[in-house]
A and B are shown apart, each in its own frame.
Chain A
Amino acid sequence: QKEVEQDPGPLSVPEGAIVSLNCTYSNSAFQYFMWYRQYSRKGPELLMYTYSSGNKEDGRFTAQVDKSSKYISLFIRDSQPSDSATYLCAMYRAGGTSYGKLTFGQGTILTVHP
């Protein structure tokens, strides 16, 4: 079983829809959570970074963390065709010397069609 599970999709939604992307994890040592967006032939772009349970909002994006359930989500409101990309969740364990060693989900491919 992978430490981080992410539904690879593909996920196809109409423009304007609310998109929910999810990751579950098995190790409670994970304490810092990131969402990246990766367009084809580009590097991952940091969208959201959070370390507290609860919601964090940035424009059309909301990151949600539920540490008790070991579950994180990214919501995209009013989705646009330009949101079409692969979305990767990533997380760090607390403490230790494992910096840089992010544990990634497998990525969800999202297509928003006009």
Chain B
Amino acid sequence: DTEVTQTPKHLVMGMTNKKSLKCEQHMGHRAMYWYKQKAKKPPELMFVYSYEKLSINESVPSRFSPECPNSSLLNLHLHALQPEDSALYLCASSQGTANNSPLHFGNGTRLTVT
């Protein structure tokens, strides 16, 4: 088991639904991330939160809305998604906010948009 916990493990949603993905870490890490991974591809960065503030948005469509309620929690709100948004959504955290801290990933939420 990883120290980054993601729920739900699987999610099927229609294009008109609104849903949320949740992520929790208790390692005291100060940076948290959302990544998207398509089959047989490496993960791609979506968002970075540093000290609970959004610091990087990799030009992600507005139908994905991140939220960081506190230093341990990270949410990703989903609305009006498209079938091509089906993927594994990974949350990660790192101890520091400099780019020399390795990332620790959760096991992801496998999202299917119908």
Which B residue sits closest to A49, measured CB to CB?
B102
Cβ contact within 8 Å between B45 and A101: yes
Report A's interface with B, CB cutoff 8 A.
31-32, 34, 36, 41-46, 49, 51, 88, 90, 92-102, 104-107
Q: Is the interface of A mostly helix, strand, loop or mixed?
A: loop
Q: Is B90's CB within 8 Å of the partner chain A?
A: yes
Number of residues on chain B facing chain A (CB within 8 A): 33
Contact of A100 among B4, B33, B41, B107 (CB under 8 A): B33
Q: Is the CB of B42 within 8 A of A100?
A: no
Chain B residues proximal to chain A, CB less than 8 Å:
2, 4, 6, 31, 33, 40-43, 45, 48, 50, 55-56, 58, 88, 90, 92, 94, 96-108, 110
- CB-defined A-B contacts under 8 Å, sample of 21: A32-B100, A36-B105, A42-B108, A43-B90, A43-B105, A43-B106, A44-B90, A44-B105, A45-B105, A90-B42, A94-B99, A99-B96, A99-B97, A100-B33, A100-B45, A100-B56, A100-B92, A101-B56, A102-B43, A105-B42, A107-B42
- Given the interface pairs A42-B107, A43-B2, the reply to whether A99 lies near B102 with Cβ below 8 Å is no
Q: Which of B31, B98, B101, B104 has the most CB of A within 10 A?
A: B98
